[in-house]
Each structure stands twice: as C-alpha cells, then as structure tokens.
Chains A and B, each alone.
Chain A
Amino acid sequence: MTIRLEPRIAAPRWLSAAATIGAVVVALVISGAIIGFVGGDPIRSYLHILNASFGSIGVLSDTLVKATPLILTGLACALAFRMRLWNIGAEGQFLLGAWGATAVVLSGVLPKGTPAVVVLPLMMAAGMLAGAIWGLIPGVLRARLGVNEIITTLMLNYVALFWIQFWVFGPWSESGFQQTKTFPPEAWLPRLSDFATTVPAFGGLTVHLGLIFGLVAAGIVWLILERSRWGYEIRLIGDSPRAARYAGIDIARNLIVVFAVSGALAGLAGMSEVAGSVHRLQDRISPGYGFTAIIIAYLAKFHPGRVVVASILFGALILAGREIQPSGVPAMIQGIILFALIVSDTLVRYRVRIERTPPPAPATAEPAVPG
C-alpha cells in the first residue's frame, strides 16, 4: 500500500484556517497525553492555564504584559521569514536591545533627573540600534559572503547571552546578585496602574506602553508588507529570488535592511521588557521569547494581525505555564504545536491518496542475460 500526495489546484479558504486550528488542538491533546504519561494531570493543567491567564482583569493584564515582547519579536520573525530569511536570532537581538536600553540608564551618560520624556526615547533608540546591529552581523555575512544565517544567528544568541551575563554578574551587578539595580522611575514605561488615581479600575494593572509599541509596529509592518513597494520586493524575494533578481531587485541590500529592521524590532522588545515590566536587567530576562516568536510567526503565516493574536495566546502559555509541573511543559507544547502546523500545512497543500500496490511483475519478464 502506498500513500501518494497530489497537489491541490487551489485550497479553499476555510481549509487553511481550519487546519491551523486543528493542528493546535491536536498538539494540545498530544501534549496532554504526555503530561499524563509523566504523572501530571493534563485537564487540571490546561484549566489552570486558562484561569491563570484570562480568569480576571488582573491576570489578563499580566498576560498582555507577557504578550508584548512576543508581539514585537513575532513581528521581527514574520518580517524576515516572509523573505525566507531565517532569523533565528530574535532571542539574541532581544537581549542586545535590553542591554542597550539598560546601558542608557546605568552608564551615567545622562545626568540625574533627566525627565522620562528624554530618557525613554533614548532607551528606545538604543535598544533598537543594539538589536539592529546584532541583526546586521548575520545579514552582512549572508549578503556578502553567502554564509548560512541560521547558524550565525543561533551562535550570536549564545554570545548575546554571555554578554548579558558578563554585565549583570560584573560591572552592573547589584551587590553581587545576578541583576542590576532597579531603574529610576524616569526609566519606567508608563503603565495603566499609574493612572489609578484618575481611573480606579486601573489599579494594579501592569499593562504598559510597550503594548502600544507592539500594536503600532504590527500596523506598520502590515502596511509595509501588504501595501508598499518594499513589501512587494520582500514577498517576491521570498517566493523566488531568481525572479526577483530578474526583475531588477537588489537582493543583497534587502537582506541587510530586512535583517536590520528585524533586529531593531526584537531590540525594541528587549527595551520594552526592561523598561516596562522588569525595570532592571537580569540574567534570565527572557524565557525564550525569541524562540517562541518563531513559532508565533509560523502559526500566523507571517501576517502581522495574526501575530498579535497568537502572541496573546502564547503569552498566556508562558505566564501560566511557569506553575505547571513538570517544568518543561510550555516549551514542549510549543514544539508540538509547530510540528503539528507543519503537518497540517501539508494536508492543506496536498490531497492524500492511498493506493494499493500492483502485484509485482511476473517472473517471465526476464532480464536479457543471467545476472
């Protein structure tokens, strides 16, 4: 019995969405089975996730806080992936952005008492610049020397990690702990709870300005990809680099620019995390945002709007998943989801046909000579 795949002429619209949702559901079921296998309680775990992330306004706000860096890194990945540029370095670019923003605050460049109106934009610029540089390195290597960007971005993730560790354990360490001292208030991104005196309902809500950064960025990325000339070039390069070259598009330049922008977005995510959520730089500043972003981008089929939606869901997973036993569950669920998405993708693109193998050729069809 053989299984053959026939390409579909044109897939109906609903099939794609149904396949995506189906993949997530199947992934959750499989993950649940594995959780059960190692002795956990899958139903309770999932209910806990729902409750701990959407159960009240307070936890919803926390979910959005977790979603914020995901939106930005997700956009970074979606933009690059649309061009088939495998930026696996969003994690490192995030870290560099966090570092850059922190450097503005802790390096003493700015005089004490500088108002937030000056500090915050400078932090944003520094974060985006640092992230962009971290993205430019693999970009230039790819454009000029044809070096595989998957390896370079991944290695740079590790380098970024140790870079942060050096500063956090060393020069910026607060009394020997693995974190810097807390930022002064002018380096904090405003959050909803800041307005609790005016609007009591906002009390205790940690959602911060970074979320707006994310939404605005999503809008801009959408505009670029779907409506601009540059976006057309990106999509063309992603589909057929040879056709793009034939059409007169400068691929090398686009490689570098897209990598830089992608890095800048991830860098902004880093800045928003240290300035809006954690208010300091610490060793484990990222629970793998840059990697989750890859899955988000794929799940969203690289569309900015869907990146936002997926980021919220994964934000929930990261937020609530911390408390689930055993501890690797959110990472495992993410891996299974990505895998299920790949499989469902294929089922959308092809129709599966199962055929019976014909009986083998009869013995009388002899070869011309004995072996």
Chain B
Amino acid sequence: MTAIDAPALAIDAPALAIDARGIVKSFPGVLANDHVDFDLRRGEVHALLGENGAGKSTLMNILAGLYRPDEGEIRIDGEPVTFGSPRDAIAAGLGMVHQHFTLVPSQTVTENILLGLDRPRFLLHERRSEAEVAALAERFGMRVDPRARIWQLSVGEQQRVEILKMLYRGARILIMDEPTAVLAPQEADELFETLRSMTREGRSVVFISHKLGEVLAIADRVTVMRRGVVTAAGLPTAGATRADLARLMVGRSVLETIDRVPVTPGSIVLAVEGVSARNDRGLPALRDVSLDVRAGEIVGIAAVAGNGQSELAEVITGLRPCTGAIRIAGEEVANESAGTVIARGVAHIPEDRSTVGSAPNLSLTDNLIMKRYREAPVARGWLMDEATARTIAGTLKESYAIAAPSVDTQARLLSGGNLQRLILAREIETKPGLLIAVQPTRGLDVGAIESVHRLLLSLREHGTAILLISEELDEILALSDRIDVVYEGRVVGTFPSAEADVGRIGLLMTGGDEEAAS
C-alpha cells in the first residue's frame, strides 16, 4: 500500500496545516527572512506574493527542509517540528515542487518518482512500479508516460511528474514555487484545476508567485512579503484589488504603464528564411521558421519554454548551426561564427546571464569590454590598453547604475539585477543595429524591470531592431510592435500589437488551432 491511499485527515485534525512563527534566516550579505510569520489552513490554496528577492523562496525552502532557520518555530498539524533535511519534511507530509525541477533528465519518469523512497528496498521492480505510477496519474487526471525519459517531456509534463512525485509520497501539503512561470495560459488553467481537486480532498496548497492576476484568481488567501518582511499576512483575496497587492508588494502603487511611442519601422534588418535547426539532443527544434525584424521595431516571440525560442536566438547569434538563410542588413550570416555576427553589429542579451553572459571570476572591467576588446580604443595592436578599458568600465558602471564596490570586483559577486545591468550596459552601449534579447528581465525586481523596458523602448526609438524572446507574456504584449507565436519550432501565428488577444495567443502557444477556437 502506498502512502497516497491513506485518508486525507481525520475530522478533528488541527485547522492549521502549517504554523510558522518568527522565522529568521540570513545569508552572507542579506537578511532573507526577518521575523516572518506564516500560516496555512487545511484545505486552502494560499498564495505567497512578492517581487524577486523578497524572501518567499527562502521561507518555503525552510519549510521544505532545505534550509535551517536561524530562529523561529514551525508547527505542522499542531506539532512542533525541526527539519534536518528534505527527507524530514517529506516524512511530515510536506512536498515542494521547485521552479527549477529536480528531475534527473536521463532517467525515466518512474525512476525519478522512485528516487529516495524506502520501498522497494533493494531490487527495483520496473514493471510493477510503472503500473503504480500510471494508476496514480490517472487518479488525479494527469497524463504521463511512466517509461518516458525526462528530457523527452515538455516542461508542463515535467511539472506533472514533480507533482506526482510528491503525491506518491503522501504529501498532504504541496508547495509550488512559481508554477506558471513555464506554462502557457491554458496549461496554467489545467494546473489550477489539479490543485483544486487536491484541496477538495483535504490537502493544502501554497504557491509562490509574483503575478497579481493569478493570485487573485486562484488563491483563497494571500501573504505578501517585501524585502524579507511580511507586509500582509493571510489576507483573504476576495475583495482585494491588484492595486492593493501591488502596494503591499513594493510599497507604492506601481502598475507598469509605459507608453510606446509610435515609430515608423525602417528597412528590414534581420531576415530569417526557412530556418531549421536541431537542439542539443539532436531533435528538431526549429522547423522552417521565417520572420523578419525592421529597424525601430520590436518583434516579440511568444512561446512556452522549450518550443525552440532558445535555439532561434542561438542560430541568429552564431551559436548554433542551421539550414536555411539568415540575413542581417542584407548579408548572409547563417552558420557564421559568433565573432562574425558580433562584427555585423548584433548585440545579444543571453538567457543565461551567469555562465554565458558573463565570466564570474573576471572583473567588471573584463566583462564590460567583452565585445570590444578587439578594436580600438581598448585594443592597441595586439596589446590591450588597460587604462582605457577601466575608464570605459567606470563610465558604464556609473551610467547604468551597476552597484559594486569597484570596476575590479568579480562579476560573480553581483546580484542578479546588477549582473543584468552589466550585460545591458555592454550590449546596448554600442548602439547595435540588431538586438536579440532573451529573458531580459528574468529574476529582476519591479524597479529594474521598468528600467530595462525603458531602455529597450528608447533603443527602439533610436532605430535598433529588437527581437524580444520572453516567457512573460505581459512583457511581450507591453513592448512588442508585432508578436510571432512559436509552437514546436514553427511560427504558428503573427499579430500586430493592436490585434493582440491573450486568448488567441495562448491557444496558439499550446498548439491549439485558431480556427477551432471560434
């Protein structure tokens, strides 16, 4: 008998599934949780809201047993507990689904679900376990193939595996960290249905989010955090407005309203024609993609993670081979090296800012001149002019407000927001003809997001062609002049911004047919 067959809870069980008081947790240089109180009622969906860096993930990681609090008390179902490891939390009925999945890509769904369990003790019984997993998935209405390997699954399917993992272990409390970050609107709705069916059985759910609309739609109560402190504890969502929540989140009413100045697009800067490419696994990632971007225009790519948008950025910037034609200002660049593409005036804000966009142990200076070290004034023949480099770095640090002790500081010591500012400074300063921006505001707080958006729009006004790839549909809608929807490596729809409709876009993002929608 597996853990999930047990009845949810007896009638006279305590009403509070989680009761955490006075939680304090600090890391080098930052106080992540400052005397935080949090409670979760049995059978409710409770949202934990806050911008990036507010301390929400830290709090949940403490509850999930990954971190130990410096101070504070936690009670699960009324009993005080101390978790020494995730194992203790799981034993107490707490399961966490992280934003970054903890699945072993090369192993199967069943192997991943079996990982860490006590049974089977020694010999693995593949067939029997696979049948159990299939039955469990069916019971909660989730479709999943127990023999598939994780790397073969879509992101939404992987998330289902993560949830199954927790259910298989008898989790009565489910914590989800930014679950919809990787889902299309329709998939998010499916997820919320699954969560509701769980709470109907008496299980409780906490989900972390920074999306106001979502929180109001799905949660019963919400707790808001800002800079490590709780600004609203267990606020019922009925009757709350987005403005209220925004104020609690950032201390001022901020709902981004940047106006996009109408700009007449110029000539075509980037032309992609019939491009196909394979991903790292050798599977087709782009299938016969065609699009173009004009000067002074922002073209947004709306796609769910894993549908080829990363590969699209890579083929354009010379980091991935492809078939087909890619022309920048009329010149063919497909399958040219990254160096050639850079020389053609293409700037690239990469998806991965800490291992691709920057060299962690090198200084700010070294990172800031990464795209200009081959030419004067930084280069003098085969030597480099260090003084000039440092001056340039100093100026950039000032104008882009990169917070760091000096230009000699190592890049790894910068916070996410400052690292992104560094990358932006480097890429934008050269007034590129074409900018490929991938997830430019991921992990940034609201203020930083706003300034990035302003920068992108001002570049647009100055005539730069921008290809914007982002998982935040709101961002795409707010900034793009035109939106191309990509699904499974194909462009399945294109919308001028005036005709953009979240419903239709969301449907196309998940493979639905536009015609069938109406």
Contact = CB atoms under 8 A, between A and B. Distances in A.
A and B touch in the complex (CB under 8 A): yes
Contacts of B91: 361, 365, 367
A248 B79 contact: no
B361 A249 contact: no
A248 B341 contact: yes
B386 A361 contact: no
A288 B28 CA distance: 44
B92 A365 contact: yes
B373 interface: yes
Contacts of A357: 84
Interface string B106-122: 00000000000011000
Given A245-B319, A246-B356, A358 B370 contact: no
B42 interface: no
A240 interface: yes
Contacts, number: 120
Contact of B379 (A229, A240, A246, A364): A229
Given A243-B359, A245-B319, A362-B79, A236 B382 contact: no
A247 B319 CA distance: 10
A9 B382 contact: no
Contact of B79 (A8, A244, A365, A368): A365
A369 B357 CA distance: 48
Given A9-B29, A361-B92, A365-B81, A246 B350 contact: yes
B88 A361 contact: yes
Given A229-B382, A248-B341, A369 B1 contact: yes
B380 to A, nearest CB: 9
Interface in B405-432: 405, 409-410, 413
A243 B370 contact: yes
A207 to B, nearest CB: 32
Nearest to B93: A368
Nearest to A6: B28
B22 to A, nearest CB: 16
B3 interface: yes
A7 B360 CA distance: 14
Contacts of A245: 319, 338
B6 A236 contact: no
B45 interface: no
Interface string A189-224: 000000000000000000000000000000000010
Interface string B363-395: 000100011011000010011101000000000
Contact of A228 (B342, B352, B382): B382
Q: Categorize the interface residue count of chain A.
A: 35 or more
Contacts of B196: none
A358 B413 CA distance: 31
B339 A249 contact: yes
Contacts of B362: 235-236, 239
Contacts of B338: 245-248
A246 B436 CA distance: 13
B52 interface: no
Majority-rule SS of A interface residues: loop
Contacts of A360: 82, 84
Contacts of A111: none
Contact of B374 (A229, A235, A236): A229
B80 interface: yes
A360 B1 CA distance: 27
A247 B371 contact: yes
Contacts of A359: 82
Interface in A22-61: none
A284 interface: no
Contacts of B352: 242
Contact of A361 (B81, B342, B374): B81
Interface in A161-197: none
Given A229-B374, A368-B170, A248 B359 contact: no
A145 interface: no
A360 B87 CA distance: 12
Interface string A225-243: 0011111100110011011
Interface string B441-469: 00000000000000000000000000000
A250 interface: yes
A248 B356 CA distance: 12
B46 interface: no
Nearest to A369: B6
Contact of B337 (A250, A358, A365, A369): A250
A230 B382 contact: yes
A10 interface: yes
A243 B357 contact: yes
A236 B361 CA distance: 9
B433 to A, nearest CB: 16
Nearest to B343: A248
Nearest to B371: A247
B358 interface: yes
A371 interface: yes
A117 B334 CA distance: 53
A242 B355 contact: yes
6 contacts: A9-B29, A227-B384, A235-B362, A236-B366, A240-B355, A368-B6
Interface of A: 6-10, 223, 227-232, 235-236, 239-240, 242-250, 357-362, 364-365, 367-369, 371
